């Protein structure tokens, strides 16, 4: 149900890749806290199902649109459509990320097509959406941008070279943007989740021994819930109680990596 305290009441959020997985969990949590949510992704059926679920769970305002995050014109269109419907943009969650199948590919076998798919959907897509969101956030006196990164690069997960590189790029982008845009009241943070999503379940099926080892490396003994563990942490970062937090990377991984 909608949180009666509703710390995000009156706020408007875009969640890219919002139809499934971590994006779905984040979108639900933002709506629980009172935000109106715009979901984007490539699959209409997933977006529709997620939007209906959120509406039923929270009663909040939610809309969706099909878009390809790596295309600049789609990023511009997403922001323009959000402003036309809701009149403002307060929160941008850059969650979308395409990965190859199988997800694990040794570096010497990585093709140019894989590089383009992973980098364009994640890092480049985030840049385009941040640029599109800058003007309306600046005009209204601030906003919160949360980039969904990963610890894959730091931990050196085998077979995830390009994914790890793209996600490390998101962390650096977040820190620099936090300095560039802090004077406008725009906060930028990164979140690295270890979450039980459809992709994680597929990884468990494809690489059961590696999946078992990953789970054993987490002191809390489980992957995070997309809503309760990941989504609500992102909602906190987007909200007023996190107004002095910017340029940070939060590792939401049950203690798998400690800093």
Give the pLDDT mean for 241-258: 92
Give the helix/strand (H/E) hosting 85. helix 72-86
The pLDDT tens digits of the residues spanning 101-118 come to: 877 899 999 999 999 999
**Has 244 been annotated as catalytic?**
no
- CA–CA dist 5, 223 (Å, integer): 28
Q: Strands across the sheet with 143-148, in order? A: 62-66, 36-41, 12-16, 91-94, 143-148, 186-193, 249-252
Q: What are φ and ψ of residue 86, in 5° steps?
A: -110, -15
Query: Is it the case that residue 39 has pLDDT exceeding 80?
Result: yes
Q: Of 134, 163, 203, 250, which is the active-site residue?
A: 163
Domain boundaries, the chain: 12-244
Q: Residue 167 is encoded by which pair of tokens?
A: 């996600």
The DSSP secondary-structure symbol of 225 reads P
The model's pTM is 0.93
SS3 call for 7:
coil
Q: Which superfamily is assigned to 12-244 in CATH?
A: NAD(P)-binding Rossmann-like Domain (3.40.50.720)
* Average pLDDT, integer, range 26-35: 98
Q: Which of 9-13, 81-85, 159-163 has the lowest mean pLDDT?
A: 159-163
Residue holding tokens 């997985």?
21
**CA distance to 44, 81, 95, 185, per residue, from 141 (Å):** 33, 20, 24, 6
* pLDDT at residue 83 in the model: 98
CA distances from 219 to 130, 204, 254 (A): 34, 18, 6
Is the pLDDT score of 64 beyond 80? yes
Given CA atoms 229, 127, 181, 167 in this order, what sign does their dihedral have? positive
- Judge whether residue 79 has pLDDT over 70: yes
Helix H or strand E segment including 250: strand 249-252
Section 174-179 average pLDDT: 98
Instruction: Let me know: does 106 contact 159? Beta carbons within 8 Å.
Output: yes
Predicted local distance difference test score (pLDDT) of residue 152: 86
């Amino acid at each position: 149900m909608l949180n009666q305290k509703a710390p995000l009441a009156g706020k408007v959020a875009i969640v890219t890749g919002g139809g499934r997985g971590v994006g779905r969990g984040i979108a639900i949590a933002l709506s629980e806290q009172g935000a109106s949510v715009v979901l984007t992704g490539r699959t209409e059926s997933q977006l529709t199902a997620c939007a209906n679920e959120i509406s039923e769970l929270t009663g909040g305002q939610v809309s969706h649109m099909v878009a390809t995050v790596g295309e600049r014109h789609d990023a511009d269109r997403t922001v323009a459509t959000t402003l036309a419907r809701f009149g403002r943009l307060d929160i941008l969650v850059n969650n979308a990320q395409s990965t190859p199948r199988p997800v694990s590919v040794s570096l010497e076998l990585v093709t140019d097509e894989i590089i383009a798919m992973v980098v364009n959907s994640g890092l480049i897509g985030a840049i385009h959406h941040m640029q599109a969101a800058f003007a309306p956030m600046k005009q209204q006196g601030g906003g919160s941008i949360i980039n969904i990164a990963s610890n894959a690069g730091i931990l050196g997960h085998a077979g995830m070279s390009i994914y790890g590189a793209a996600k490390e790029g998101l962390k650096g982008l977040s820190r620099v943007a936090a300095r560039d845009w802090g004077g406008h009241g725009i906060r930028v943070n990164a979140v690295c989740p270890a979450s039980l999503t459809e992709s994680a379940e597929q990884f468990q099926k494809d690489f059961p021994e590696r999946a078992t080892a990953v789970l054993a490396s987490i002191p809390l003994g489980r992957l995070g819930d997309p809503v309760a563990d990941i989504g609500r942490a992102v909602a906190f970062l987007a909200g007023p109680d996190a107004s002095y937090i910017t340029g940070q990377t939060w590792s939401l991984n049950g203690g798998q990596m400690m800093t």
